[in-house]
Amino acid sequence: MCSGLPEVAQGLWGLSLWEKLPFPSTCSAAPSPGRESVGIVGGCDVSGWRYPWQVSLRFYDMRLGLWQHECGGSLIHPQWVLTAAHCVEPEDLEACAFRVQVGQLRLYDHDQLHKVAEIIRHPKFNASLSAWGGADIALLRLEAPVMLSEHVNLVSLPPASLRVPARKMCWVTGWGDIADNSPLPPPYHLQEVEIPVVGNEECNRHYQNASESSDQVIKADMLCAGSEGRDSCQLDSGGPLVCRWNCTWLQVGIVSWDHQCGHRDFPGVYTRVTSYVPWICRHVPLSPAP
């Protein structure tokens, strides 16, 4: 039973938060603390329904009396959402504490919220380390499947063997801040920005220099992307980073954390989806493409 839901002020945990596709065929084929919940810097309003898999993860704010946007996510099956594990922390929060909104360009515009029946956090996600410890990935099972349409559809997952090269141009979307401490203004239109992938070695070097530590900050299950003035920012955690391959959008990353929004030396850090495709496939009944 959900009872006594906590208030949400800046964020859920008191942190300083920051074309139609077929069913994916993947399963039939074989630090120095920054800030979590990174939004879109240097982006533009999304025109039309280019990202029908984008969802908004909501948590009830008792003070405001509404289901408030806390994180992004992506629809990978009519009944399953992919997001970041730190978006559904602490672990004792029950599934009924959350709602999911699909098929929306402008936040809170004619909400039709879907209840969450189950949360599956990756077992290697360490709540004490949060996003910086890696395995920042979770699955949400909805109480009932959503109806697919032009406005609500699925994103394909990559094969686990896919290598995402440095300088590959990809897109990140969300309703997060448009700069440090600058929330997305009404009417809260979904933002998009094209960003380059940054190799893990280069990315790790930047973060190590900043932390003055020899420890590896960017782990193998992380992926970096972004450039000066083009990045994700607060309140976009859990949202998708997608790239175009052979005329198909593939989700290669989940917005996880960064140090400063749009800083030239600190690309955004994403959960590398290819590292977790086998785990996803153990839980989600993804169907082969026709």
CATH number at residue 119: 2.40.10.120
Say how far residue 237 (Cα) sits from the centre of its chain. Answer: 5
Q: Is 263 a catalytic residue?
A: no
The token duo for 266 is 């600190």
| Contact criterion met (CB below 8 Å) for 58 and 71 | no
Instruction: Quote the domain boundaries for residue 162.
Output: 33-283
27 belongs to a structural domain? no
Global pTM reads: 0.86
For the question of residue 86 being annotated catalytic, the response is yes
3-state secondary structure of 86: helix
Residue 277 within a domain: yes
Per the CB < 8 A criterion, the answer to whether 263 and 228 are in contact is yes
**Dist CA 85 CA 105 (whole Å):** 24
- The pLDDT score that the predictor gives to residue 19 is 27
pLDDT digits (tens, 9 = 90+) for 79-110: 999 999 999 999 889 999 999 999 999 999 99
| Catalytic, out of 136, 177, 231, 258 | 136
Quote helix, strand, coil % in the chain, to nearest 5. Answer: 15, 35, 55
CA-closest candidate to residue 251, choices 262, 266, 239, 269: 239
What tokens appear for 159 in the block?
A: 């094969």
Query: Has residue 95 been placed in a domain?
Result: yes
Q: Is residue 148 part of a domain?
A: yes
- What was the pLDDT predicted at 244? 93
- 203 DSSP 8-state letter: H
Q: Please tell me the total count of domains within the chain.
A: 1
User: Which candidate in 37, 130, 237, 256 is catalytic?
Assistant: 237
Q: What is the pLDDT of residues 183-196, one digit of tens each?
A: 898 999 999 999 99
| CA 260 to each of CA 103, 226, 275: distance values in angstroms, whole numbers, following the listed order | 29, 11, 25
In a domain, 17, yes or no: no
Residues in the chain with pLDDT values less than 50 = 4-25, 28-39, 288-290
pLDDT of res. 35: 40
Establish whether 180 is a catalytic residue. Answer: no
Is 260 a domain residue?
yes
- Looking at residue 2, what is its pLDDT? 63
Exactly one of 37, 56, 74, 86 is catalytic; name it: 86
In a domain, 28, yes or no: no
Q: Supply the pLDDT for residue 287.
A: 60
Which pLDDT belongs to residue 290? 36
pLDDT of residue 259: 81
Residue 23 counted as domain residue: no
pLDDT of residue 285: 87
